[in-house]
Structure formats: C-alpha cells, structure tokens
C-alpha cells in the first residue's frame, strides 16, 4: 500500500532540514531559503516584520532570539513562540542619540504591534555605547551600523537578522553563517568579552531545548 503523500512530504522536509546542519552537504543559500520559509510560516515573525517595515526606520531589523529560537521550535516540533522571552528590534539613527528619540520609536513600535508590545525590545544601535558600560560593566565601542552590532553578540549563533524588502521578500543577514542555528549548536563569540552572558544564555536554553549543543568558551 503506498505511503500517504503527506507523510512522505513530512519525511522529506525533516530530511532536508537535517541536512542543513552539514555545510559539506548543503549550501548557505539553501539555509537562507529554509530560514525564509520558517520566518514566513511563523505568524508572529511575519507580523513583526510587517509592522517594522511600516515604520520605515533607518537600518532596521528583527534580530537574534526571535529568529533562531523559532527555527529551533520548528526543528523540535514545539509550538510557535515557545521559550521566546522577547523579540529584539534594532535600528540605527545617528542623527539623534537622545533617549527621548529612542523612546518615541519604542512607543511607535508598540502602537504598531499592541498585542506584542510587552515582548518587543527596540534599541537604537547608534546610542548603545552611551549606556552599555554603566549597565554591564564593560566598555562598548560606538557602532557604525546595525549589522556591526551582530558581531558583538556573546554567541555566533545569535547573530542573525531579517527584514522585509520593498517587494515583500525577505532579506537575511548572518555574519557567521546559519549552520550553527540549524545544527542547534550554541557557539561562543570569542571576539567579545562576554563569557558570563554566553554561559547564562546556554544554561537557560538547554532547559528549554535539551537537544541544544553548547560549545565551551575556551579562550586561546
């Protein structure tokens, strides 16, 4: 008796996704395409990206956990939004570094997405260096654009960004590639002095996604 085509399709999809963690058998373009499919299929992400585009903020992106944790939920068959504490939105406006200007953007973003307002984290990357050291006890060099911020994250796996282009298609950025996201592997970014954050996030995430592999923070 022939196998149900829906079962076959599911098996094929699982096989395809499993291969994406192996850079010797798949390409980064294939990983980008798979990520785009997952983002489009995740209603919350699609809503955030649409709301973000409507505000027309400079150099604005949805980044980090909301994206890669949505992939992990897809890979482990967990419900949408499982384990996601917040959705990080970044933009870069060097013309006004005041908190008041940033707060106005935060309020506009919350108004555009009122059902998600309590889970949105909106930050102007042009002014992070003004408050970072006081809050975290470490200096933070001024950035030149939003994408530069991704290279400062504690884990390379965190460094992923998405935004909607004018034609409705997705633009994906990942300075360290997407392999580790699909491999469910948390890899430290040794270019930062941020082991404490890496360890804290790793401990939390393995409670939520026990399939996750943590690569130890070992400095040369």
Is 131's pLDDT higher than 80?
yes
Measured between alpha carbons, how far is 147 from 14 in angstroms, rounded to an integer? 31
Q: Is residue 220 very low, low, confident or very high in pLDDT (cuts 50, 70, 90)? A: low
Q: Is residue 82 very low, low, confident or very high in pLDDT (cuts 50, 70, 90)? A: very high
Provide the mean pLDDT of the chain: 92
**Cut 0.85: pTM above it:** yes
Measured between alpha carbons, how far is 125 from 147 in angstroms, rounded to an integer? 9
Measured between alpha carbons, how far is 180 from 196 in angstroms, rounded to an integer? 20
Q: Which residues contact 157 (CB under 8 A, 6 or more apart)?
A: 68, 176, 180, 181, 185, 186, 187
Mean pLDDT of 40-48: 97
Q: Is residue 48 very low, low, confident or very high in pLDDT (cuts 50, 70, 90)? A: very high
SS (H, E, C) 93-142: CCCCCCHHHHHHHHHHHHHHCHHHHHHEEEEEHHHHHHHHHHHHCCCCCC
175 to 102, 107, 109: CA distances (angstroms): 26, 30, 26
Largest CA distance in the chain: 68
DSSP secondary structure, 53-72, as one string: HHHT-TT-EEETHHHHHHHH
Coil, helix or strand for 163? Answer: strand
Say what percent of the chain tops pLDDT 90.
Answer: 82
Mean pLDDT of 124-142: 93
Check: CB of residue 106 under 8 Å from CB of residue 127. Answer: no
Q: Is 79 exposed, middle or buried (0-12, 13-18, 19+ CB in 10 A)?
A: exposed
What pairing do the DSSP bridges indicate for beta strands 61-63 and 161-164? Answer: antiparallel
In the numeric block, which tokens belong to residue 32?
A: 């980008």
* pLDDT (0 to 100) of residue 6: 41
What pairing do the DSSP bridges indicate for beta strands 185-186 and 170-173? Answer: unpaired
């Amino acid at each position: 008796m022939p196998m149900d085509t829906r079962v076959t399709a599911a098996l094929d999809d699982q096989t395809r996704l499993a291969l994406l963690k192996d850079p010797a058998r798949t390409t980064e373009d294939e990983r980008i395409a798979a990520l785009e499919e997952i983002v489009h299929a995740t209603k919350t992400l699609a809503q955030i990206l649409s709301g973000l585009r409507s505000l027309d903020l400079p150099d604005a992106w949805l980044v980090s956990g909301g994206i890669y944790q949505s992939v992990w939920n897809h890979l482990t068959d967990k419900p949408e939004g499982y384990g996601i504490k917040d959705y990080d939105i970044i933009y870069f406006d060097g013309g006004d570094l005041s908190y008041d200007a940033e707060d106005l953007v935060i309020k506009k973003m919350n108004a555009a997405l009122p059902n998600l307002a309590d889970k949105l984290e909106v930050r102007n990357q042009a002014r992070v260096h003004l408050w970072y050291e006081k809050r975290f006890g470490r200096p933070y060099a001024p950035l030149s654009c939003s994408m530069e911020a991704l290279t400062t994250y504690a884990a390379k796996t965190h460094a992923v960004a998405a935004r909607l282009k004018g034609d409705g298609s997705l633009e994906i950025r990942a300075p360290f590639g997407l392999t580790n996201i699909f491999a469910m592997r948390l890899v430290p970014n040794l270019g930062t002095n941020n082991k404490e954050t890496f360890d804290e996030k790793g401990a939390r995430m393995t409670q939520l996604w026990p399939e996750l592999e943590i690569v130890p923070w070992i400095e040369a």
